[in-house]
Structure 1
Amino acid sequence: MGVWNLIAKSDSKLVVNQVNGGFQARGPWTELYLRCTQRLVGKFKEVRLECVSREKNSNADALEKMGSQHEAVLLGSIPLEIQEIPSIPEVEAMQVEEAPKKTWMTPILAYIYKGALPEDKFKARRLRYQAARYVVYDEVLYKRGSNQPLLRCVDEE
């Protein structure tokens, strides 16, 4: 359309301040929408986003309310498009399961769950003595006499 300078108005102080850089976007969806907006803003020479009070934005509010009713009869000549998918690209995420890291609790848990002891008799005796101080309740490792959990346990097969 050949537009290089744009003035956009919104009655959302939050959105205006996020786009103008005054507020930080929080949450994954908000950050995606903000990045998408910043990409679009970059296509213009100058963009000014201004905040308008809700009282002065009554025409836009009425249009939004009519559009949300999905009744074309009320809209007259205003085109209505129902957006089926988000306007921002989907974030591809994959679940990564880390191998449990060995800590000082690993031998204790192996002994409690499986009765596994080291080959060395001295180390085995020390582990039995040490493990007697701990208990697993509802898959959480606790030191006896304490109600503070040390580690949420996952039974390794």
Structure 2
Amino acid sequence: MVENLNVFSDSMIVVYQINGGYQAKGPRTKLYLKYAQRIIARFNEVRLELIPHGKNEGADELAKLGSYREATLLGVMPLDIQRQPSVPEHEVGSLSDDLDPTWMTPILAYIKEGSLPDEKNEARRIRYKAARYVIYDGILYRRGFSVPLL
């Protein structure tokens, strides 16, 4: 049984999050961090080291090998297709109008009805914040960008 583990990664954010130098901010990232911490707890000692991208030849070669579909390699390298995330989906709730006001209430009011507070600076702040959000199927989402898959 393996008791001590050395892990080498060229992902600075992953190394620093697991080693405690960076916080995990997004809900999905937090779930993955907790999942990794549970796995790490099974070992006596785990060292996670950051290595430069240029010195990561071993992982690059393994990734290339895994992408080949040649019959000679299929028996050597196990193939596992992951059909769902390793961590559970976080729940997304919708906001009801009868709830107590939150920081989202003025943003929702502006997006839905165009209403703003009377105070000039507060109205400007709400307009600025609201530009970062969209309502989809009754749920307030923060806008983001995604790279299309080719």
* Equivalent runs, 1:106-117 vs 2, <5 Å: none
Runs of 4+ in structure 1 off by over 4 angstroms are none
Quote the Cα distance in structure 1 between the aligned partners of 2:25 and 2:92.
18
SS in 2 for 1:38: helix
Given the two structures, how large is their TM-score scaled by the length of structure 2?
0.60
What's the offset of the Cα at 1:94? 3.5
- Give me the whole-angstrom Cα distance separating, in 2, the residues matched to 1:13 and 1:21: 12
Look up the match of 2:22. 23
Matches within 5 A, 1:51-130: 51-67=50-66, 69=67, 71-73=69-71, 75-76=73-74, 77-99=76-98
Deviation at 1:74, TM superposition (A): 7.2
Aligned residue for 1:32? 31
- Give the aligned residue type for 2:38: R
In the alignment, what sits opposite 2:114? 140
Looking at both structures, which has the greater relative contact order when contacts are Cα pairs under 8 Å and sequence separation is at least 6? Answer: 2
The two structures have a TM-score, normalised by structure 1, of 0.58
Give aligned-pair identity as a percent.
Answer: 41
For 1:125, the equivalent position in structure 2 comes to: none
Q: How many residues are treated as equivalent by the alignment?
A: 115
8 A Cα contact 2:28 2:90, kept in partner: no
Deviations 1:7-49 (A, max 9, x none): 1111112111111001111212211111100111111111111
